[in-house]
Amino acid sequence: MKQFVFSGLVAAVLPLLMTAQAQPLPAPSLLSSTRPLVIGHRGYPSLAPENSLASFDTALKAGVDLVELDYHHSQEGTPVVIHDGTLDRTTDALQRWGGKDLPVAQRPVRDLVGLDVGSWFKPTFAGERLPTLEAALDFIQPRGTTLIERKGGDAATLAQLLRRKSLVNRVVVQSFDWDFLRAYRALDPAQILGALGPVGSRQGRKLTDAEKELSSAWLDEVRATGAQIAVWNRQVNRAAVDDAHSRGLRVWVYTINDEAEAQRLLTLGVDGLITDHPALLWKALALHLHAATSTPRPQ
């Protein structure tokens, strides 16, 4: 019975959920979405190796609004898709070259793109290769929208790549490095940017949990970077979300893998959720929209 009820619920709200999925949309259209966005963190890393084409493909098949990925620069400055600044955790670099804590930035791109990024996750993904950022964009953009997180590298290299590929505002760019965001904004006043936060420390002092919560002061700083989105951890509250909206800012929250937490954040009015489990978030969003649109039965 429970399965039947949920199936009916999904059928009722699916058209609302998938409105933005008819075709890949430019970033400004996504920001004006009338429903919260579901964003695949490093693709769909609960089902496929993070930051791989297989992970991006799985996320796109799950209908995510954006596919998030991370990049660092190779030795010669080519952006390559990987989360860590070292190669140890998600590639076979140690087996190939020995040592440990092997920096991405000390290897040429010709070596990096030959690395296996699938075997560590599951043997069936053996042979999955580390993509360049350009290759990842070529793979994702015909079918969806990329949320690009800069982990390392200068603003000019990314700005030039997006201009060359005619992808300005066909993607969203985010970073924890707010100096990078300011530098990017100076190069391109149009591109949609997300300010990732909160930072962990300031002037050598570790911030308390209370100080990390999204607030008017943080939103002042987000605006100063030129970003249109505050991309925060779950330390958000209704007042901060309302304040952001009053300033024309959006609030996205990472990395939400719990249905109850997703429901709490959706109730606060956040505009997007970044997740390792897109299917779970679609379910949470379906239930949230159903609760918001349903009317009580007459007694």
pLDDT in tens, 212-221: 999 999 999 9
Structural domain including 173 reads 24-85+133-293
Q: Tell me the CATH number at 197.
A: 3.20.20.190
* Mean pLDDT calculated for residue range 61-76: 98
Q: Which two tokens stand for residue 25?
A: 């949309």
> Is residue 94 included in any domain, yes or no?
no
pLDDT at residue number 26: 84
- How many folded domains does the chain comprise? 1
The verdict on residue 222 lying in a domain is yes
DSSP reduced 3-state for 221:
helix
Q: What is the pLDDT of residues 241-289, one digit of tens each?
A: 999 999 999 999 999 999 999 999 999 999 999 999 999 999 999 999 9
What pLDDT shows up at residue 202? 85
Q: How far is CA 140 from CA 52, 121, 124, in A?
A: 11, 21, 22
The identity of residue 147, as a single letter, is: L
Cα(218)–Cα(225) distance, integer angstroms: 11
22 burial class (0-12, 13-18, 19+ CB within 10 angstroms)?
exposed
Q: Is residue 121 part of a domain?
A: no
pTM, entire model: 0.91
Residue 195 to residue 228: CA distance in whole angstroms: 8
Looking at every residue in the chain, the average pLDDT score rounds to 92
Measured N-to-C along each axis, helices 2-17 and 278-293 cross at an angle, to the nearest 10 degrees, of: 90
Asked whether residue 161 is domain-assigned, the answer is yes
pLDDT score of 204: 87
- Asked if residue 67 is part of any domain, the answer here is yes
Does residue 91 fall inside a structural domain? no
Residue 37 lies in a domain: yes
